[in-house]
Structure 1
Amino acid sequence: MSGHGAPTIQATELDASQLTVAVVAASWHTTIMDGLVAGARRALEEAHTGKVVEVRVPGSFELPVAARRLAESADAVVALGVVVRGGTPHFDYVCSAATTGLTDVSVATGKPVGFGVLTCDTEQQGLDRAGLAGSTEDKGYEAAHAAVSTALTLRGLGV
């Protein structure tokens, strides 16, 4: 796990009061997901986000279709999930589908999608990144910050 080179981020530096942000979160690995959602909520509150819509889907594979629908009425989407490697190729298929699907949503809609999908070899790696007490990273917070920051940048382009 590497946080080396990561920028220092503070959502308090952002003014998202005019934005609608949708958070779509998977349901697998409840403890990790609750941490990711809490981190995203904290970032959106600190950025004074105007409106936040939260939706839960069964798993990370379902994130792209929900993100696509939410992007129709939101300025940005935050996608949160966790996939833990098992003994079959399922991990590779789900990770690839979620990553490609969420990228496609962003490019097709012109709306930023904060990528908060953890792809982990072990559940402990997910716990370490979930923003929980004792975690070394807060990927939910980071994904929400990235989505809001990018939405504000795009809005500032005026095109």
Structure 2
Amino acid sequence: MNQPLSAAFTHSLAQPSYRIALVSASWHPDIVSHATEAAISELAQLAPGSEVAQFEVPGAFEIPLHTKRLADSGRFDAIIAFGLVVNGGIYRHEFVTTAVIEGLMRVQLDSDVPVFSAVLTPRDFHEHDEHQAFFRSHFVKKGREVAQACLATLHSLARLPVAIAA
């Protein structure tokens, strides 16, 4: 996800439209919203006409269940999750992060709906202006990257042969 899409590939992605759900944790909305807004902007630019639905959940731990319900609804081609899990000094963040990422992967594999994560866990986060400014900027970058990865994956999956049930 660190490399921008090539101009030719980006152009080919602009044709289809998709139904994409965005699920955002409400903790640290001043930072997480930057990723969500950047993803919406990138999706609008690369896949105009796509439908983007936004959902907010209390925290990152709630993201996998909401993602599962959205995937099971059959209404979405892909789902992108957004959140910021910080180290509060009691190591709970490691358990939350692991549960969220494993939950998202399980939803993706069980539902066959691609699920993407912009749920980030910085090693060191402090609630001072310098860190908040850095992470706001970083989340803009990650929002764009996850939108690009989402569209590239949808494009790639559309080109795969459909499996024939025996």
Tell me if both proteins adopt one fold, taking TM over 0.5 as the criterion: yes
Alpha-carbon shift at residue 50 of structure 1 (Å): 2.0
User: Does the alignment pair 1:119 with 2:121?
Assistant: yes
Question: In 1, distance between residues paired with 2:42 and 2:33?
Answer: 14
From 88, 108, 111, the equivalent of 1:109 is: 111
Q: Does structure 1 residue 39 correspond to structure 2 residue 38? A: yes
**What residue is the counterpart of 2:80 in the other structure?**
78
Supply the RMSD in Å over aligned alpha carbons: 2.0
Q: Which residue of 2 aligns with 1:69?
A: 69
Maintained 8 Å contact 2:97/2:121: yes
Aligned partner of 2:92 in structure 1 is 90
Is contact 1:22-1:71 (8 Å) kept? Answer: no
Instruction: Report how many residues are paired.
Output: 149
- Percent identical among aligned pairs is 33
Look at both structures and tell me which one has the larger radius of gyration over its CA atoms: 2
Q: Distance in 2 between matches of 1:27 and 1:50?
A: 24
Q: Which consecutive unaligned segments of at least 5 residues does structure 2 have?
A: none
> Structure 1: which 5+ residue stretches go unaligned?
132-137
Contact 2:32 / 2:136 at 8 angstroms: preserved in 1? no
Indicate if the aligned counterparts of 1:78 and 1:113 stay in contact, CA closer than 8 A.
yes
Counterpart CA distance in 2 for 1:130 and 1:104 is: 24
Partner of 1:134: none
Q: Is the 8 A contact 2:2 2:145 kept in 1?
A: no
